[in-house]
Amino acid sequence: MIMQIATHEERMHVRHQRQLRKRPFYRKDLLIIIVGLTISISAFTTPASTAFAQDRQALALQFPHVFVFQGPSIKKVALTFDDGPDDRYTPQILAILKREHVPATFFVLGIHVQKYPNMIVRIKNEGHAIGNHSYDHDNLQKASPWHILWEVERTDRLLKKTAHVSTRWFRAPYGNVTVSLLRQLGKRGYQVVNWSVDSQDWRSLSAKQVLQNTLPAVAPGSIILMHCAGNPKEILTGTVQALPELIHTLRARGYAFVTIPDLFTPHTTTVHAKW
């Protein structure tokens, strides 16, 4: 509809100009305008997921030692949990992981490190990897270099103070990474980690929906995005309920579960979930 209106307006303008000037070349001008409008509209209608995948691949090629979203093509997968910790869902997830002997990686928020310090210590003591997920989940895509550094370094200081954890693994809120962010964090030795499988569990999905979003997409080297906390409106009961079946199914397919550091460390010993 927008294109039709614009085209009509341009046609009326061209007719008016023809009446005044009697110049035939305005047909060519109109064609250029229509083509330009078509290109602009098609750009807005390109699926976001496709654009995201293309950008992600391009960034991985441009920054091979800084940005990753997929592990090596071997039968290992990494479970990652964002936005924690909390005192509701994180303990339930940790209990399942401990029972199944599965290590995972928790990308935590500094504000939650402050609020639940004992949970950070528990994550560490139970053998899981810890990554930095910014201080308060701000969108860093348009943030200034100073603000990006503040978000990362403040969380880093809290992790060191709370659990004596020093991490070089970082996941940007919403997965929003830019060339500027990668250059800035790369100079400071960080590895920025996105994901290749999105459970979309933050949408308060059922266990069945979480499994439907996850299992068909898993491949060798997959990094699986899940959550262990969120805002009060996010219900992660489906995540907790889906986790045991997810582990059992992937193990039956021959996958080993590893942390993000182990996924990218050659010759590391993998850990399999047990029956």
CB-hemisphere CA count at 13 Å for 193? Answer: 33
DSSP-derived letter for residue 271 is B
CA–CA dist 1, 95 (Å, integer): 54
Please say whether the dihedral angle defined by the alpha carbons of residues 210, 213, 215 and 218, taken in this order, is positive or negative: negative
Instruction: Write down the catalytic residue from 29, 227, 248, 262.
Output: 227
Please say whether the dihedral angle defined by the alpha carbons of residues 215, 50, 135 and 265, taken in this order, is positive or negative: positive
Known catalytic residue: 83?
no
CA–CA dist 184, 200 (Å, integer): 29
Residue 88's CB is within 10 A of a number of other CB atoms, namely: 15
Amino acid at 22: K
- End-to-end, the C-alpha distance of the chain in Å comes to 58
164 backbone dihedrals φ, ψ, rounded to 5°: 55, 40
191 backbone dihedrals φ, ψ, rounded to 5°: -110, 120
Known catalytic residue: 262?
no
CA–CA dist 30, 112 (Å, integer): 57
Contact 248, 273 (CB under 8 A): yes
Instruction: Write down the catalytic residue from 8, 82, 136, 156.
Output: 82
Which residues are known to be catalytic?
82, 227
